[in-house]
Amino acid sequence: MRSLAPNSLILTASNLFSAVLGFSLSLIIGRGLGESSFGIWVFSLAWASILTMICEFGLNSFITREAARIPEKLNRLLLLSLVIKLVLVSISGAGVWYLAPILALDSSSSAALRVSILIAVLALAYGSFTAIFRSAGLMSPILWLNMLGGITQIAWSIWIIRAGGDVLSLIWVALAIDFGQLIAAVFVWWNRLRASSGALEVLLVDVTRMAKDTFPFAASGFLGAIEARLNILLLGYIRNETEVGRFGMASRFFEAARLLPNGIYDAAFPAFAARTSGSSNKILFQRLSQLIVLYTISVTLVLILFSRQVIQLTYGDFFILATPTLSWLGVALLPTLHNSIMEVYLFATGDEKYATRLGLLGLIVQILVSIPLMFFHGASGAAIGVLISELVIWLPLMKRIKNYSLE
């Protein structure tokens, strides 16, 4: 815990600032553009997020684990991940670009959707560099890059909205910020890690081997991408952009609550992967789980008991009809965050196939229950679907951790 604490603190601070800045940005856009335009913004970035998570192919987690184990191959792992991601995003991005008029909600969201493809490309490259930083224990650049990027985007977005700009202009701003972060990350890697991290080479046989080895991570990433943004897309197609805006608003609180413990997960992943003692891993896992449970209960109670007041103080009365949605997502935090720490442990210790199968089960359940719930209850139905899917996989994860991983 002593060795993990500094890195966890930095990444937790990074995620906390990211949550605050991201939430502030959504407040500015929600209040400045209204429910419908906010829904288009959420919808377009949901597609960018899906492309990013699918084409990431589980490589960020894989190279974090492998670089923590074999630091002298850090450069090779970085370049291999970038090559694989570029191939995948070129293929899938071209498809989304061509089908944008069909996939979008209207003409304005079609243009925004196409720009979001470029955001996915930059996010994929940036993710490889931050994964390498985590594996090397270089956490501070992640904090500063995320903070500066978020602050700049907020200031720029305020200027755009006051000048009468639209959603497309705001998405172009996001693209410019991501480009700046990527350039800065390359600079940090070149000056801090490149010289001591092995050869800079990419061999076809290594590309093939990495794609094969990372497949369980890729499958999990694909399921996570679909699960995380499924509700936003389905609400857009089944209902309308207003319901998307309501769920998008509520999910901002849900995602902000998840970002804080994600700092602990990101630091714990290479720590779990690098340890060889089962007893030390068990102690570390138990302490982190207790911390996560205490945190989750506190946040859940706030979102359940004071959801209406929270919305009024932030997004305003215009979003007040999303109160039940926020309450249901607050309840869903309990199984979601506990499931996350168990999944991190399984992936770090080599049991990723089981975690992936459970992820598939959760996705299937979410699809089956969410569609009718959305049809009748809109955004609230989507939130209930999230809760049910997380509850379904909670008990199997608990049994796996108890009976296999931590013995």
Domain positions in the chain: 4-405
Confidence of residue 183 (pLDDT cuts 50, 70, 90): very high
**Highest-pLDDT range among 10-14, 63-67, 403-407:** 63-67
What distance in Å separates the CA atoms of residue 144 and residue 277, rounded to the nearest whole number? Answer: 34
The phi and psi torsions of 165 (rounded to 5 degrees) equal -70, 165
- Tracing tokens 């480009």 back to the chain, one arrives at 179
Residue 8 is predicted with a pLDDT of: 59
Residue 1 is predicted with a pLDDT of: 47
3-state secondary structure of 306: coil
Whether residue 179 is predicted with pLDDT greater than 90 in this model: the reply is yes
Residue 253 is predicted with a pLDDT of: 82
Q: Token digits for 400?
A: 């796996």
Query: What is the rounded average pLDDT for all residues in the chain?
Result: 79
- CB neighbours of 368 closer than 8 A, spacing ≥ 6? none
Q: Token digits for 310?
A: 């929270």
329-331-332 Cα angle (round to 5): 60
Residue 218 is predicted with a pLDDT of: 66
Q: Which residue has the higher pLDDT, 98 or 240?
A: 98
Query: For a pLDDT cut of 70, what percent of the chain falls above it?
Result: 83
Question: What single letter denotes the amino acid at residue 346?
Answer: L
Contact 88, 55 (CB under 8 A): yes
- Of 225, 221, 189, the C-alpha closest to 47 is 225
- CB neighbours of 297 closer than 8 A, spacing ≥ 6? 334
Residue 152 is predicted with a pLDDT of: 92
- Tracing tokens 């991501």 back to the chain, one arrives at 178
Confidence of residue 275 (pLDDT cuts 50, 70, 90): low
Q: What is the pTM of this model?
A: 0.63
Judging by beta carbons within 10 Å of its beta carbon (0-12, 13-18, 19+), is residue 360 exposed, middle or buried?
A: middle
Judging by beta carbons within 10 Å of its beta carbon (0-12, 13-18, 19+), is residue 98 exposed, middle or buried?
A: exposed
Alpha-carbon Rg for the chain in angstroms: 20
Q: Token digits for 389?
A: 């899917």
Residue 228 is predicted with a pLDDT of: 58
Q: Which helix (H) or strand (E) holds 275?
A: none
